[in-house]
Structure 1
Amino acid sequence: MSNPESFRELCRKEIHTGPTSGVLPGYIQANLLILPKCVAESFEDLCTRNPVACPILSKTEGGPQFLRNHASLIKQGTFDIRTDFPRYNVYSRGKLVQQKNNCVNEWSSDHVGFLIGCSFTFEHALEKAGLVPKNVLYNKNVSMFRTTKFLDSAGIFHQCPYVVSMRPYKLTEVEIVREITRKFKKTHGEPLDWGYDGAKRLGIEDLQKPDYGDPIDIGEQEIPMFWACGVTPQLAVTTVGDRIEGSVIGHTPGHMLILDATDVDWC
C-alpha cells in the first residue's frame, strides 16, 4: 500500500483485517461509533462535553459514503464507513454480539456514524523524535484499559468510564512526550496521567492485563503513560446498555480508519 486510499481498498476487500498502529505513519487515524439517530444527539452532546476523550473529527451526512466537512479529511468517492475499517464490533442492547470485517448488513438509513480522533495519529511525531512507542516497535496493538475516571454526563450517557491507552517511556522522556503529543488536540492531546501512582489514580490494577489490545512490557527504567482513548465511546454504549434500541457499530479496538489528511494538517 502506498497511500490511505489504497489501504482503505485493502480493508474493503478484507485483505487487511488487523490493527493499524504504525500503518502509513503521518496520516490521521480515526475511531468509529455508529448509532441510531434517536440517540445520536445525546452522543454528540457527550463528545462536546468530553472533547479530550471523545474528539469528533466528522460525522456522516447523507449516507455512509459522505462526511460532514469531509474535504479536509478524505477524498470524495474513496470512502465507505461500512467497509473501510479493518474490523468492526457490533453491539445489541449494550452487548458485544459480533466482530466482522464490514457492517453493510447492520447499516440503515436510521444510522449516524461518527469519526473520533485516535492517538495512533501522534505516534509518527513521537517516532520522528526518536521516541518510538513500544506497540509500534514490536508490531503490537496498544494496551488499553478501562478506568475509574468518568466522563461528564450528557443525555442518556451517565456514569460512563474513560478508556486509556498506555505507552511506556523513561522518566527523563516524560516532558518531551507531553510536549509532542500536546499539539494533537483533535486526537486526544497530551497524557491524562503517568507513572505507577497515575495507574492507581485511574483504577488500573494490572498493567499486564489490558482490557483491550496487547500487553506491553514496561522496562525497569520506564513508567507507564496514559492517554484518553477513542474506545471510550464504545464503553459508553455498553454502560447505558438496553437504553439504545437497534444496532450500534464501532471499530474493533486498534483497527482504525486511515484518512487522507496528515498529522501536520490537523495537529
Structure 2
Amino acid sequence: MEVCILPDSIRRLIRSGKHQGTTSGYLPSYIQTNVVILPKEYADEFREFTKLNPKSCPLLDELAPGEFSPALAKDADIRTDVPQYRVYRSDGQYEVVSDIRPYWQSDFVTFLIGCSFTFESALQEENITLRHVEENVTVPMYKTNIQTVPSGPFSGPMVVSMRPIPASDVDKAIKITGKFPSVHGSPIHAGDPSEIGIVDIRKPDYGDTVTIRENEIPVFWACGVTPQQAILHAKLPIVITHEPGKMFVTDVKHEAYRE
C-alpha cells in the first residue's frame, strides 16, 4: 500500500512520531535502508566488514563523521527519520527510542545498508504475494549457522529474512531478486530451515511469525540485521541501529539498483 505520495511524506510522519511501525509496504517504489551508526574509531573495521560480507551488508552510503543528512534523501535527518532505533551498549543491552538526538556524538559515522524491502515491489509486480505485508506485520528474521567473515571486533552469524513463496513461483522469485545484487539479491536458501540452523520457523529472532500455507516454501534472503549480531559480538561502548523492520526511507527509486 503506497500510503504516501512521496518519501518525504512518510519521513515527516516518522519525525513527528505519528508512524513508529514497520515500513514494509510503504512507498514500495523507493529504496529503504538499514542503519548502523557508530564512533569513528570503529568505522574502518566496520566498513571492511561490509566489504567482506556484501550479501548481508550491501553498503549504499556512508556519511562523514558527525554528518546526519544522507545524500539519498533530501532534507532528511538520520537522527529522527527512522520509526524506531536501537541504542546498544557494551553489555549487549539496548533501549528502543524514536529520536536519537540526545545520544548524538560529533564523531558518529552513519552507514546505510541495502534492505530486501527494495525488491519486494518487484516481486509484487509479478503477482508474488508477500505474507508479512498481507498480514501487516514485520517480516520474520532468523539467526543462522552461517558465519560472517570477521573484521576487527565485528563477527557473528548471518541473519536472514523469510518469505513464504508458492512452490511454483520459487524459481521466478529467485530470478527477480537476483536482479538486485546491491540489496541482498537472490536468496541464500529455500526449503528446510534446519539446513541453515533454524530450529523453529514459528519463532523468529526478529520480526513476527507469518502464516506458511500448504504448497508454500520458506525462502530465505540475507538480511541487513546481520550487523546487529556483529555489534553484539563487538561490545562497543555505543552503537545505534534501526529497529528491525523499521527502515530509513530514501528518495531513490528501486529501479536505480536493478541490474
Would the TM-score normalized by the shorter structure come out above 0.5? yes
Look up the match of 1:217: 211
Say whether 1:191 aligns with 2:174.
no
Shift of the 263–94 alpha-carbon distance from structure 1 to 2, 3 Å rule, reads farther
Contiguous gaps of at least 5 residues in structure 1: none
Contiguous gaps of at least 5 residues in structure 2: none
Q: 1:252 aligns with which of 234, 243, 246?
A: 243
CA–CA distance in 2 between the matches of 1:64 and 1:89? 19
Deviation at residue 63 of structure 1 after TM alignment: 3.3
Q: CA RMSD in A?
A: 1.1
Question: 1:179-223 CA deviation, whole Å, 9 max, x = no partner?
Answer: 000011111001000101xx1221001011000101011112111
Is the 8 Å Cα contact of residues 126 and 177 (structure 1) preserved in structure 2?
A: yes
**Which aligned runs of 4 or more in structure 1 are off by greater than 6 angstroms?**
none
Q: 1:261 aligns with which of 242, 252, 257?
A: 252
Is the 8 Å Cα contact of residues 126 and 132 (structure 1) preserved in structure 2?
A: yes
Question: 1:2-22 CA deviation, whole Å, 9 max, x = no partner?
Answer: 210111111111111110110
Say whether 1:43 aligns with 2:32.
no
SS at match of 2:110: strand
SS at match of 1:80: coil
User: Which amino acid letter does the alignment assign opposite residue 102 of structure 2?
Assistant: N
Is the 8 Å Cα contact of residues 15 and 80 (structure 2) preserved in structure 1?
A: yes
CA–CA distance in 2 between the matches of 1:64 and 1:96? 26
Look up the match of 1:170: 166
Look up the match of 1:229: 223
CA–CA distance in 1 between the matches of 2:137 and 2:181? 24
Shift of the 190–128 alpha-carbon distance from structure 1 to 2, 3 Å rule, reads same
Look up the match of 1:161: 157
CA–CA distance in 2 between the matches of 1:157 and 1:89? 18
CA–CA distance in 2 between the matches of 1:26 and 1:94? 38
Q: 2:85 aligns with which of 80, 83, 88?
A: 88
User: Which amino acid letter does the alignment assign opposite residue 266 of structure 1?
Assistant: Y
Look up the match of 1:100: 97
Q: 2:233 aligns with which of 231, 239, 258?
A: 239
Look up the match of 1:24: 27
SS at match of 2:168: helix
Look up the match of 2:57: 54
SS at match of 2:101: coil
CA–CA distance in 1 between the matches of 2:24 and 2:129? 12
Question: 1:210-267 CA deviation, whole Å, 9 max, x = no partner?
Answer: 00101011112111000000111011101222xx23x210000000011000111122
Shift of the 14–64 alpha-carbon distance from structure 1 to 2, 3 Å rule, reads farther
Q: Tell me the matched-pair count.
A: 255
Question: 1:151-198 CA deviation, whole Å, 9 max, x = no partner?
Answer: 11112223x1100000011221111000000011111001000101xx
Is the 8 Å Cα contact of residues 65 and 109 (structure 2) preserved in structure 1?
A: no
Percent of aligned pairs with the same residue? 43
User: Which amino acid letter does the alignment assign opposite residue 189 of structure 1?
Assistant: G
Say whether 1:135 aligns with 2:121.
no
Look up the match of 1:119: 116
Is the 8 Å Cα contact of residues 87 and 102 (structure 1) preserved in structure 2?
A: yes
